[in-house]
Amino acid sequence: MVTIEQVEKLREKANVTYEEARNALDACGGDILDAMIYLEQRGKIQSPANDGCFKHSQQENQSEQEQAESEHGKRDTAQGETFSSLMGRFFRWCGVILVKGNTNTFEVSRNGSPIISVPVTILVVLLILAFWVVLPLIVIGLFFNCRYSFHGPDLGRTEVNNVMDSAAEAAENIKKDVSGSNR
């Protein structure tokens, strides 16, 4: 069955009357291209000047693309970004965080000599998966003269390591207070 949209489209493209467009579409089973050829063969329209090549305008291509995206429900109405582009941005951000976590290290040292140095990514994973084990071990390590520091381009700044040193000094003061009160 021929729809009014098909008749309108053929009428616009071929510059024929509604009746001619409907008759051509009926004769061609609703196929617009066949209807164009049908009208051309009957002398109702002229052959195209550029050897039969029809080109869509950019505006038509954009409107068809927008219609296809809205039909598939992929368009985010708030920002106009597709779900796949948002996921791509998220995974790129995760990649940047992983690279930064792997280039910066968390170092444990005791009496000035390093004991272990692990990437910050490993430390974060351990804190997430074994929080109740790792955090007490870090605190207990402070009381056994362990010092913690970060090294690397992003976390190896003096401000971050000063905070770590002040935590170690606080643990040392608590240890002195507890051992002084026992005497």
d(CA 68, CA 61): 11
The pTM score is 0.48
Are the C-beta atoms of residues 108 and 141 closer than 8 Å to each other? yes
Residue ranges of the domains in the chain? 1-49, 100-181
Q: What is the pLDDT of residues 82-130, one digit of tens each?
A: 899 899 999 999 999 999 889 999 999 998 899 999 999 999 999 999 9
Question: Percentage of the chain with pLDDT > 70?
Answer: 80
Q: Tell me which architecture the domain covering 1-49 has in CATH.
A: Orthogonal Bundle (1.10)
Are the C-beta atoms of residues 155 and 104 closer than 8 Å to each other? yes
Label residue 41 by pLDDT band (50, 70, 90). Answer: confident
